[in-house]
Structure 1
Amino acid sequence: MSITLNSEQEKFIQTQLESGRFTDAMEVIQTAFHLLEKLNDDYLQWVEETRQKVDLAIAELDRGEGHDGETVVKEILERFKQARQETE
C-alpha cells in the first residue's frame, strides 16, 4: 500500500521528529494509529454503555417508574435556582 501525505501532514510529522519525542516518521504514524484505535474503542464502549442505559430507561418506563420530561426539567431548574441563591 502506498500513501501520499499532504504538505500539512508532512510538516506535522517533521515537527514531531524535531521535538525529539519520536525517532522516525514510522513511530509518529504508529502512535497516531494507536491513538485512533483507542479513540474508536472508547467510542464503541460509549455506544454500548449508552444502549444499556437506554434499555434500562425503557424498562423503567414500561414499569411506570419514569417521570415526564416537563417535571424533570422543572426540578432541575429549581435545583439550579437554589444553588445560585446559596452562592449569592
Structure 2
Amino acid sequence: MTINIKPEHEQLIKAQIASGRFTNADEVIDTALRLLEKLNDEYMQWVEETRQKVDVAIAELDRGEGLDGETVVIQILERFQKAREAAE
C-alpha cells in the first residue's frame, strides 16, 4: 500500500521522532491509528448510549411522562438568563 502524506503531516511525524518519543515514522503512524481506533470505539459507545437514552425518552413520552417542547425551551431560556445575570 502506498500512502501520500501531506507536508504538514510529514513535519509532524519528523517532529515526533526528533522529540525522542518515537524512533521512526511507523511508530508514530501506529500510535495515531490506535488513537483513531480508540476515538472511533468511544464514538460508537456514545452513539449506543444516546440511542438507549432516546429509547427511554420515547417510552417516557408514550407513558405521558414528558414535558412539552415549549416548557423545555422556556426552562432553558430561564437558565441562560440566570447564568448571564450571575456573570454580570
TM-score by length of 2: 0.84
The list of structure 1 runs, each at least 4 consecutive aligned residues, that deviate by more than 6 angstroms after superposition, is none
CA, structure 1 residues 13+84, in 2 after alignment: closer, same or farther (shift >3 Å)?
Answer: closer
Q: CA RMSD in A?
A: 1.8
CA, structure 1 residues 7+85, in 2 after alignment: closer, same or farther (shift >3 Å)?
Answer: closer
Structure 1, unaligned stretches of length 5 or more?
none
Q: Count how many residue pairs are aligned between Structure 1 and Structure 2.
A: 88
Residue type of the partner of 1:10? Answer: E
Structure 2, unaligned stretches of length 5 or more?
none
Structure 1 residues 26-35 or 71-80, which shifts more?
A: 71-80
TM-score by length of 1: 0.84
Q: Match of 1:54?
A: 54
The Cα shift of 1:78 comes to 2.1
Residue type of the partner of 2:53? Answer: K
Distance 1:86 1:10 in 2: 47
Structure 1 residues 73-82 or 50-59, which shifts more?
A: 73-82
State the identity %.
68
